[in-house]
A = this chain, B = another copy of it.
């Protein structure tokens, strides 16, 4: 990518198109024994790219005004970096952005579920068992089938509840 290309400001619709291709709306529910219910709900939005396009991830971060650019993973294909947003306050802005600027692929279904999850967390519903179960069921309807150990296991056997959407 030439230096001249780096000067161009990112366009809103470009962000939406790129997210339709490369974005990921992800909610993990991780076993944390010290917490009240024993589970932590961890939503995040991310866009992963090969490190050669790291500069672009920084431009996306600059566009939104929050989030982090960090290593996603390293393997025989090289290192992948990700633009990652966590935290309810910033994720709420992400939800607002994609409510105003519609995704065009079936990833929109994932986004709709994700935004319901964020809404419930804002209402602190994830801190009681009924809310946690509801979030778990929402996530299981996401576009890319996650690993649903939680929903398959009995209540006493629940060990892990992490939804991967690679």
Contacts and interface: CB of A to CB of B under 8 A. Distances in A.
Interface string A38-75: 00000000000110110010010000000000000000
Contact of A22 (B10, B21, B52, B108): B21
Interface stretch (A80-88, A99-107, A127-135, A155-163): A99-107
Interface stretch (A11-19, A27-35, A114-122, A146-154): A11-19
B13 A105 contact: no
A103 to B, nearest CB: 8
B53 A14 contact: no
A8 interface: yes
A4 to B, nearest CB: 9
A109 B50 CA distance: 15
Given A15-B17, A21-B22, A8 B104 contact: yes
Nearest to A22: B21
24 contacts: A1-B108, A2-B108, A5-B102, A5-B104, A5-B108, A8-B104, A10-B104, A11-B13, A11-B16, A13-B13, A14-B16, A14-B104, A15-B17, A16-B17, A17-B18, A18-B20, A18-B21, A18-B104, A20-B21, A21-B21, A52-B106, A53-B105, A53-B106, A56-B104
Nearest 4 CB-CB pairs, A to B? Answer: A21-B21, A17-B17, A13-B13, A14-B17
